[in-house]
Structure 1
Amino acid sequence: MRKLDVYFNDNRAGVLTERVPGRDYTFNYDNSYLGSDGYSISATLPKRKEPYRSEHLFPFFSNLLPEGANRKVICRALRIDEKDLFGILSAMADKDFIGAVEIRKHKDD
């Protein structure tokens, strides 16, 4: 199981988890973030207590990834399978992201 922390405007909003590689994903908002006046990280992932579940990496997160030739170069350089979207997102964790949402390496609670 792999996990990444999701931040919105430098506040930890929740945790993205890959439970089964390439087949089972969850996103959970942190209770403290749910109680704050912070916005949802995406219109497709409105704030709620119940976890979001998907058989594929949520489109919101996959859209944060590089595409085309950039993805190929990054995957070759880091020896990551181009189909391992969570692996690419993990490799980009703690790097510069455009916008209010950042992905960071998971810190155990």
Structure 2
Amino acid sequence: MQKAKVYYRELVAGILEQYDGGYRFTYDQDYLNMEKPMPISLTLPLSPYPYLSRILFPFFDGLIPEGWLLHIAREQWNFKKNDRFELLINLCRDTIGAVTVYPEEEEENG
């Protein structure tokens, strides 16, 4: 199982996990208990219950670069062609929007 921390404006908003059956996103309880937490997406409203999906949630998939930038990243770092989770955790650490994604291992070791 691979895990990634999902940040909303530099606050840990939740954990995204990839496992044999698909994907799970769970909001962090401390994030939910904040005064005015914001959902990371309209398709993933605030909830104490995990969201499950057989495919990578469209919101997260939409964060992955496309076109020439994706092509360069795949060639430069030799990512597996169809591993969207690997692309997400390696290419979405500095996104244009409020949400960023970091591999959990890197957070623990860094």
TM over 0.5: yes
AA at the equivalent of 2:46 = K
Partner of 2:13: 13
Identity rate, percent: 36
Cα distance in 2, alignment partners of residues 5 and 80 from structure 1: 20
Q: CA RMSD in A?
A: 1.4
Partner of 1:56: 55
User: Taking structure 2 as the reference length, what is the TM-score of the superposition?
Assistant: 0.88
Match of 2:103 among 85, 92, 105: 105
Report which of the two has the higher share of helix: 2
Q: SS in structure 1 opposite 2:101?
A: strand
Over 3 Å off, 4+ runs: none
Is 1:92 aligned to 2:91, yes or no?
yes
Q: SS in structure 2 opposite 1:76?
A: helix
Cα distance in 1, alignment partners of residues 69 and 54 from structure 2: 26
Cα distance in 1, alignment partners of residues 24 and 78 from structure 2: 25
AA at the equivalent of 1:57 = L
Consecutive unaligned residues of structure 1, counting only runs of 5 or more, are none
Q: Do the aligned residues in 2 keep the contact of 1:72 with 1:82 (CA within 8 Å)? A: no
Cα distance in 2, alignment partners of residues 82 and 7 from structure 1: 25
Match of 1:31 among 25, 29, 32: 29
